[in-house]
């Protein structure tokens, strides 16, 4: 109470501490963007204007960084150019990671200040200037620092720093090297804006900004049409979700008159519990999340987004940006806890996505595609968490996932790097990402192998690895809330919420089984069994340089021990529920509201049973994969037969892309082409309006130039006519 009073009086416990420097957090990456962007621009403009394709380096897109994408390599013929480092490569290698590291250091300092400040009941809001005062709408350029944004900032800058360092090695020979770091820095800037913004519009700017950077980085090697198309797909699919987000903001403003988080939180209660309005707002917000965080039905862009460089997949499409939807719901906990029906939808969609994506992951051959579907599936878990009101569990899984999935992606990057280098030496144009071309890599890259196993065990939920704790907490949370919560009392399509939650729990277990299976499959096909790369190529397989393995080691440690951040009561040692306690001021009230005011407590026996079930299903998956899969029987991709039966359906991703194409894309395209383009655009706009206005302008211009004769006498006559017209307008009426 005293603290609240102090905050109201303007003396927040954080004021006067290093937290006042919060503005510097996003500014540092922005500075990096400016420097790297200038380096990229300057080097481009020196090449001369004659050939635009030269503007991105002497090799066009045929750089020497490993190309992700099946045919990226084959399209270029002889690619044995001498390796030319970019002229500003050293500058970018220093500036790019350094700004992130500084930002991370500052974030750590602020974190310590927050811990030192003790209990912090209200967020620390710093307003810089009034940005958009329009009528009743007052949007400030303000940052909000609270326990939730602090967690996100630490993840973003921490994991971001590691991935930037990794990129120094991975992208070293790319002709667009400074451009790459410019985009990556810009991404971090927008991501920090997203999590630090003190109101929905500012969050939305970050939201759109990371979308832009994602688009730029997916299409980083844009001279391949497939990569550029993937970028566009991500952009367009995300627009559908953003439409929902915008509508939600409009509704919030129309009903509450404010868009700041503190304002909406204060006014949320006036929307009424379980009302139509708050449910609609939450559903539209969630539509935004399905776009950004790749949930059914808008998940289709994420697998294609693997066209970008692999560190980008790790940072943007696994660890940070795609979790923005989870953050948005956790941030809007005061809304979702008022809308049990909307929350049920979130849980159901999350669970279905988890299962569906995991099933596709079972039959992918591209190592990055496996991880992409795995990401979609894990994001589903997070939504199950935050949707069911277990906000801490959702954020906890977001954190551990950031560790182990970043590790998996960077590990796969390391593998692809090695494969690509081997193929490069022998002028082989095979697919460097297809697991059928790998096998037995454990012998050549020990470090990567060990670390990726750690991550695999973590994601499969093997006890005492980080993923075990967070996934267990989500599944346990759903199970307990199926017994007693506002969600369980609500009805969705006439079905009682508790049934849906129990169903989602079962789906979650099934997805966990599949997760263990496809991850083990990936490890076996990549690292175990005989090598299928090729006899000549095999000699060139080697571990990546330390600048790449170093970040992997750090992530490996975090993946292993990340569970310590929030240990359950079942573990009789260590700091219990650290994260839960930390996030309590932000989500505590909402968590209690969902569970009808009582903390969800399970008896010791039930909790043990839940844990045993989760562990058993994970281990079962691993053993199933081990016993069923025979890496010795695999043949390289070139000689591999097509899939048959149900495997083919899974390999083709349930034909969802095809279905979307038939049901949505083609009708839209044909309407656009037939009606909008031929009819409206060429006919009406070009024909009548553009040509018409051109004609009109010509006529007016002709008439004007006839009058504009240069003769003063003419001018004076026109003036006199004008005088008469004006006098007429005054007097004739």
User: By C-beta, is 647 or 700 nearer to another protein?
Assistant: 700
Region of 312-320, 426-434, 467-475, 694-702 interacting with another protein (CB under 8 A): 694-702
User: By C-beta, is 682 or 714 nearer to another protein?
Assistant: 714
User: By C-beta, is 68 or 140 nearer to another protein?
Assistant: 140
User: By C-beta, is 38 or 561 nearer to another protein?
Assistant: 38
Distance CA 543, CA 662 (A): 44
The answer to whether 584 and 480 have CB atoms below 8 angstroms apart is no
> Applying CB under 8 A, which of residues 49, 82, 572, 641 lies at the interface with another protein?
49
Distance CA 395, CA 469 (A): 12
The answer to whether 459 and 467 have CB atoms below 8 angstroms apart is yes
> What does the chain come to in residues?
733
Distance CA 613, CA 477 (A): 14
User: By C-beta, is 257 or 674 nearer to another protein?
Assistant: 257
Region of 127-135, 159-167, 417-425, 531-539 interacting with another protein (CB under 8 A): 127-135
The answer to whether 602 and 482 have CB atoms below 8 angstroms apart is no
Q: Which of residues 712-731 bind another protein (CB under 8 A)?
A: 712, 714-716, 718-719, 721-723, 725-727, 729-731
Q: Which of residues 170-199 bind another protein (CB under 8 A)?
A: none
User: By C-beta, is 599 or 712 nearer to another protein?
Assistant: 712
Task: Say whether residue 254 binds another protein (CB under 8 A).
Answer: no
User: By C-beta, is 608 or 707 nearer to another protein?
Assistant: 707
Supply the minimum distance, in Å, between the C-beta of residue 541 and another protein.
45
User: By C-beta, is 189 or 449 nearer to another protein?
Assistant: 189
User: By C-beta, is 138 or 255 nearer to another protein?
Assistant: 138
Q: Which of residues 582-621 bind another protein (CB under 8 A)?
A: none
Q: Where are the beta strands (DSSP E) in 573-720?
A: none
Distance CA 235, CA 232 (A): 5
Supply the minimum distance, in Å, between the C-beta of residue 685 and another protein.
12
Helix locations, 315-365, DSSP H = 324-331, 333-336, 340-361
Supply the minimum distance, in Å, between the C-beta of residue 132 and another protein.
10
Q: Which residues pair with 679 in a beta bridge?
A: none
> Applying CB under 8 A, which of residues 138, 531, 651, 652 lies at the interface with another protein?
138
- Cis peptide bond N-terminal to 581, omega within 30: no
Buried b (16+ CB within 10 A) or exposed e, 644-670: eeeeeebbebeeeeeeeeeeeeeeeee
The answer to whether 481 and 332 have CB atoms below 8 angstroms apart is no
Task: Say whether residue 680 binds another protein (CB under 8 A).
Answer: no
Supply the minimum distance, in Å, between the C-beta of residue 213 and another protein.
17
The token pair that represents 393 in the structure block? 């569990």
Nearest to 385 by CA among 263, 289, 462: 289
Distance CA 245, CA 232 (A): 20
Distance CA 16, CA 189 (A): 24
Cα 320-548-382 angle, rounded to 5 deg? 25
Supply the minimum distance, in Å, between the C-beta of residue 701 and another protein.
3
User: By C-beta, is 242 or 580 nearer to another protein?
Assistant: 242
Supply the minimum distance, in Å, between the C-beta of residue 728 and another protein.
9
Region of 243-251, 315-323, 330-338, 707-715 interacting with another protein (CB under 8 A): 707-715
Supply the minimum distance, in Å, between the C-beta of residue 300 and another protein.
31
Region of 73-81, 129-137, 574-582, 679-687 interacting with another protein (CB under 8 A): 129-137
**For 421, what's the count of Cα atoms within 13 Å in the CB-facing half-sphere?**
19
> Applying CB under 8 A, which of residues 1, 9, 134, 254 lies at the interface with another protein?
134
Task: Say whether residue 708 binds another protein (CB under 8 A).
Answer: yes
Nearest to 471 by CA among 432, 514, 441: 514
The two counts, helices (H) then strands (E), for the chain are 29, 4
CA distances from 243 to 237, 540, 714 (A): 10, 49, 56
| Interface characters, 620-659, with another protein (x: CB under 8 A) | ----------------------------------------
User: By C-beta, is 45 or 666 nearer to another protein?
Assistant: 45
> Applying CB under 8 A, which of residues 46, 129, 493, 632 lies at the interface with another protein?
129
User: By C-beta, is 1 or 134 nearer to another protein?
Assistant: 134
Number of Cβ within a 10 Å radius of residue 550: 16
User: By C-beta, is 264 or 382 nearer to another protein?
Assistant: 264
| Interface characters, 262-291, with another protein (x: CB under 8 A) | ------------------------------
The token pair that represents 566 in the structure block? 């929030």
Supply the minimum distance, in Å, between the C-beta of residue 730 and another protein.
4
DSSP codes joined into one string, 256-311? HS--BHHHHHHHHGGG-TT-HHHHHHHHHHHHHHHHHTT-TTSTTHHHHGGGS-HH
User: By C-beta, is 608 or 690 nearer to another protein?
Assistant: 690
Supply the minimum distance, in Å, between the C-beta of residue 416 and another protein.
36
> Applying CB under 8 A, which of residues 139, 568, 705, 706 lies at the interface with another protein?
705
Distance CA 311, CA 661 (A): 29
The token pair that represents 424 in the structure block? 């490069």
Q: What are phi and psi of 496, to 5 degrees?
A: -60, 140
Footprint on this chain of another protein (rule: CB under 8 A): 41, 45, 48-49, 129-131, 133-135, 138, 693-694, 696-698, 700-701, 704-705, 707-708, 710, 712, 714-716, 718-719, 721-723, 725-727, 729-731, 733
């Amino acid at each position: 109470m005293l603290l609240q009073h102090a905050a109201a009086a303007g003396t927040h416990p954080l004021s006067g501490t290093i937290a006042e420097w919060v503005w510097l957090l996003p500014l540092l990456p922005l500075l990096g963007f400016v420097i790297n962007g200038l380096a990229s621009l300057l080097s481009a403009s020196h090449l001369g204007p004659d050939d635009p394709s030269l503007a991105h380096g002497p090799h066009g897109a045929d750089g020497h960084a490993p190309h992700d994408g099946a045919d990226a390599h084959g399209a270029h013929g002889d690619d044995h150019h001498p390796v030319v480092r970019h002229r500003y490569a050293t500058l970018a290698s220093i500036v790019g990671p350094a700004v992130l590291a500084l930002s991370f250091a500052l974030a750590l300092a602020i974190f310590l200040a927050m811990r030192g400040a003790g209990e912090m009941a209200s967020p620390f809001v710093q307003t810089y200037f009034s940005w958009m005062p329009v009528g009743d709408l007052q949007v400030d350029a303000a940052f909000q620092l609270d326990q939730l944004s602090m967690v996100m900032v630490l993840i973003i800058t921490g994991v971001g720093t590691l991935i930037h360092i990794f990129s120094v090695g991975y992208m070293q020979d790319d002709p667009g090297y400074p451009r790459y770091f410019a985009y990556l820095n810009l991404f971090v800037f927008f991501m920090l804006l997203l999590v630090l913004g003190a109101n929905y519009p500012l969050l939305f700017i970050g939201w759109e900004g990371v979308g832009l950077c994602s688009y730029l980085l997916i299409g980083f090697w844009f001279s391949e049409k497939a990569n550029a198309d993937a970028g566009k797909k991500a952009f367009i699919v995300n627009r559908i979700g953003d439409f929902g987000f915008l509508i939600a903001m409009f509704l919030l403003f129309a009903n509450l008159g404010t868009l700041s988080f503190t304002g909406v939180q204060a006014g949320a209660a006036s929307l009424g519990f379980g009302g139509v309005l708050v449910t609609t707002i939450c559903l539209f917000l969630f539509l935004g999340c399905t776009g950004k965080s790749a949930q059914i039905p808008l998940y289709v862009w994420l697998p294609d987004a693997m066209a970008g460089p692999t560190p980008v997949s790790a940072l943007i499409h696994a660890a940070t940006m795609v979790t923005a939807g989870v953050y948005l719901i956790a941030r809007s906990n005061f809304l979702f806890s008022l809308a049990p029906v909307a929350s049920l939808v979130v849980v159901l969609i999350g669970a279905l996505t988890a299962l569906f994506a995991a099933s596709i992951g079972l039959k992918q051959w591209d190592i990055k595609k496996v991880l992409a579907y795995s990401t979609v599936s894990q994001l589903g878990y997070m939504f199950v968490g935050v949707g069911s009101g277990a906000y801490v569990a959702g954020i906890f899984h977001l954190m551990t996932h950031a560790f182990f999935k970043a590790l998996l992606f960077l590990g796969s990057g390391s593998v692809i790097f090695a494969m690509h280098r081997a193929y490069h030496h022998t002028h082989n144009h095979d697919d460097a990402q297809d697991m059928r071309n790998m096998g037995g890599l454990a012998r050549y890259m020990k470090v990567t192998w060990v670390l990726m196993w750690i991550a695999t065990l973590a994601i499969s939920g093997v006890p005492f690895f980080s993923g075990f704790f967070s996934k267990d907490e989500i599944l346990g949370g759903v199970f307990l809330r199926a017994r007693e919560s506002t969600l369980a009392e609500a009805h969705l399509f006439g079905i009682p919420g508790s049934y849906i939650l129990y169903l989602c729990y079962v789906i979650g277990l099934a997805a966990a089984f599949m997760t263990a299976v496809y991850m083990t499959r990936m490890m076996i096909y990549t690292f175990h069994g005989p090598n299928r790369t090729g006899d000549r190529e095999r000699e060139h397989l080697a571990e990546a340089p330390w600048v790449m393995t170093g970040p992997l080691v750090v992530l490996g440690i975090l993946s292993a021990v990340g569970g310590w951040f929030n240990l359950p009561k079942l573990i009789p040692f260590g700091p219990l529920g650290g994260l839960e306690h930390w996030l309590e001021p932000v989500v505590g009230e909402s968590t209690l509201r969902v569970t009808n005011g009582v903390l969800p407590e399970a008896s010791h026996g039930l909790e043990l049973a839940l844990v045993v079930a989760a562990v058993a299903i994970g281990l079962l998956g691993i053993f199933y994969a081990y016993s069923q899969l025979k890496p010795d029987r695999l043949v390289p991709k070139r000689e591999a037969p097509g899939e048959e039966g149900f495997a083919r359906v899974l390999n083709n991703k349930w034909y969802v892309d095809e279905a979307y194409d038939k049901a949505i894309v083609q009708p839209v395209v044909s309407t656009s082409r037939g009606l909008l383009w031929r009819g409206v655009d060429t006919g009406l706009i070009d024909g009548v309006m553009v040509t018409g206005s051109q004609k009109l302008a010509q006529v007016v211009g002709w008439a004007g130039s006839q009058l504009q004769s240069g003769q003063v006498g003419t001018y004076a006559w026109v003036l006199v006519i004008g005088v008469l017209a004006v006098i007429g307008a005054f007097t004739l009426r």
